[in-house]
């Protein structure tokens, strides 16, 4: 656990002078385009980038733009404002902007921002305002890196691993504040429009399914939609796939339309990164990601880990009411982690798929299977005594023990471990959900170290 920080103590960067002047002029309804052009021309780097932006495929121009004033006319005042923000911000970030972790931050920022820009017209919102909102949503990660240094960059690296929680979770666990909260403070500090700041504040409370069902198309829903898309692309977990599929279903997109959208998104992210002179981590083969993730979830009765605490709470209450026992079995596939670390992603995902199939084969309809991370599953068995759990484990061990993986012509046997926690049938105690889950995880860790099954039935 890290040290909590006070968000008020985070040092917010000043808005670069050129950007501040541009924003002040743009906010003037009677702004003089010539005056705006003169301000931009005082910053040669900003002027050059604006001209390149106007000539980029993002705006589909059929003629060459050669001057700042032409660029302003073509881009419009709102776009000039966001360009001034995005193009001048990089210069104020310091040496960390060139690190691998910072490159991941920038890919996240740009993927989300460009997704917002592409989605804007579907929400009947201005594309450039949507871009600015998406850009500012995650910009706080750059401020966190400035303030917290290597410790924060380590969290960014960890968050890229599918076995690890998402960045916001790690931030709150270690520092007590998320980068999105810092983004809001930065926007207030820079006195950006309240509409954008409020939308980002409301982002966390958006229920996408409810919003789509009610046909809401406001800015917070747009931001949440873009975050669902970029979240899956940057970390293609089953949890993130569910959110991505929710978006695809809401817009009635076919697989080919989704693939075209993702390809266009990647092209625009790369182009914007070139304009900003950023070196991003290599883009992903989105078609392959989609194919693998959909194959993993196809026909599998596997639930997301976010659903586990609620389901455990419900089943514990039912077990007490009916005088039943309740068992949680954690299964860790160490071989999956080893394959993933060695870059054998496809083999790791195939093995994960096989394990999910095996779990389905040995369980009943009333049981539930949860995927906790890349290498760990949880099986919740209702009204199953210890001898029943032991038989279930023996069947799983037989199936997993007979499973092998081919890597580079070599056959690898699957390594696995089980940890079990059980609420005893005769227990009259109210079991704390968090303690129940924690004990199951502790038993799994002990089982891995001791190379034996670890069971607790004291609840």
| 8 A C-beta contact, residue 23 and residue 13 | no
In the chain, what percentage of residues exceed pLDDT 70? 86
Residue 242 and residue 336 share a domain: no
Mean pLDDT of all residues in 420-443: 85
Handedness of CA 146, 189, 75, 258 (dihedral sign): positive
Q: Which of 240, 275, 293 is the last residue of a domain?
A: 293
Query: Can you give the pLDDT at residue 33?
Result: 76
Residue 332 and residue 275 share a domain: no
Residue 71's domain is classified under what CATH number?
Answer: 1.10.3210.10
Residue 42 and residue 14 share a domain: yes
Q: pLDDT tens, 100-122?
A: 788 888 889 999 999 999 999 88
The larger pLDDT score, comparing residue 23 to residue 160, is at 160
This prediction has a pTM of 0.64
Q: Say which residues have a Cβ less than 8 Å from residue 20's Cβ, sequence separation at least 6.
A: none
Query: Structural domain tally of the chain?
Result: 2
Q: pLDDT tens, 363-419?
A: 887 788 888 877 889 999 988 888 888 888 888 888 888 888 887 778 888 889 899
The larger pLDDT score, comparing residue 63 to residue 170, is at 170
For residue 291, pLDDT over 70 is answered with no
Q: Which of 198, 220, 47, 197 is nearest to 123 (CA)?
A: 220
Query: Can you give the pLDDT at residue 119?
Result: 92
Residue 322 and residue 280 share a domain: no
Residue 1 lies in a domain: no
SS3 call for 60: coil
Residue 342 and residue 204 share a domain: no
Residue 333 and residue 287 share a domain: no
Handedness of CA 240, 246, 252, 254 (dihedral sign): positive
The larger pLDDT score, comparing residue 349 to residue 171, is at 171
Residue 144 and residue 228 share a domain: yes
For residue 94, pLDDT over 60 is answered with no
Q: Which of 293, 314, 337 is the last residue of a domain?
A: 293
What is the overall mean pLDDT for the chain?
81
Domain encompassing residue 341: 299-456
Q: pLDDT tens, 189-207?
A: 888 888 999 999 998 889 8
Residue 437 and residue 317 share a domain: yes
Query: Can you give the pLDDT at residue 288?
Result: 61
């Amino acid at each position: 656990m890290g040290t909590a920080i006070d968000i008020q103590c985070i040092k917010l960067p000043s808005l670069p002078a050129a950007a501040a002047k541009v924003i002040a002029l743009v906010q003037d309804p009677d702004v003089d385009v010539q005056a705006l052009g003169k301000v931009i021309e005082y910053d040669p780097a900003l002027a050059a980038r604006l001209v390149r932006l106007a000539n980029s495929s993002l705006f589909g121009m059929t003629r060459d733009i050669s001057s700042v004033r032409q660029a302003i006319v073509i881009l419009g005042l709102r776009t000039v404002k966001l360009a001034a923000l995005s193009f001048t911000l990089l210069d104020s970030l310091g040496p960390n902007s060139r690190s691998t972790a910072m490159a991941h931050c920038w890919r996240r920022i740009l993927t989300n921002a460009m997704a917002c820009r592409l989605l804007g017209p579907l929400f009947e919102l201005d594309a450039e305002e949507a871009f600015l909102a998406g850009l500012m949503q995650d910009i706080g990660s750059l401020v966190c890196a400035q303030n917290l240094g290597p410790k924060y960059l380590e969290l960014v690296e960890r968050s890229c691993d599918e076995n690890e929680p998402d960045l916001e979770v790690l931030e709150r666990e270690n520092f007590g504040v998320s980068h999105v909260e810092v983004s809001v403070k930065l926007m207030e500090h820079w006195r950006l429009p309240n509409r954008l700041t409020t939308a980002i504040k409301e982002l966390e409370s958006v229920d996408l399914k409810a919003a789509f069902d009610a046909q809401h198309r406001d800015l917070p829903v747009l931001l949440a939609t873009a975050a669902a898309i970029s979240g899956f692309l940057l970390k293609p977990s089953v949890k993130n796939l569910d959110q991505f599929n929710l978006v695809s279903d809401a817009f009635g997109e076919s697989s080919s339309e989704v693939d075209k959208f993702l390809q266009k998104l990647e092209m625009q992210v790369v182009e914007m990164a070139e304009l900003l002179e950023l070196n991003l981590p290599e883009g992903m083969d989105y078609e392959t990601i989609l194919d693998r993730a959909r194959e993993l979830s196809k026909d599998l009765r596997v639930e997301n880990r976010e659903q586990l605490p609620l389901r455990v709470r419900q089943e514990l209450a039912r077990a007490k009411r009916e005088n039943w026992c309740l068992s949680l079995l954690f299964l860790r596939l160490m071989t999956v982690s080893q394959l993933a670390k060695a870059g054998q992603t496809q083999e790791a995902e195939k093995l994960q798929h096989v394990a999910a199939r095996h779990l389905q084969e040995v369980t009943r309809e009333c049981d539930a299977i949860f995927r906790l991370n890349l290498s760990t599953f949880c099986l919740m068995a209702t009204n199953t005594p210890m001898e029943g759990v032991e038989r279930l484990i023996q069947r799983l061990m037989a199936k997993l023990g007979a499973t092998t993986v081919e890597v580079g012509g070599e056959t690898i046997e699957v390594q696995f471990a089980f940890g079990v926690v059980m609420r005893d049938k005769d227990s009259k105690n109210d079991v704390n959900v968090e303690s129940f889950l924690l004990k199951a995880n502790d038993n799994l860790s002990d089982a891995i170290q001791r190379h034996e099954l670890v069971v607790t039935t004291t609840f």
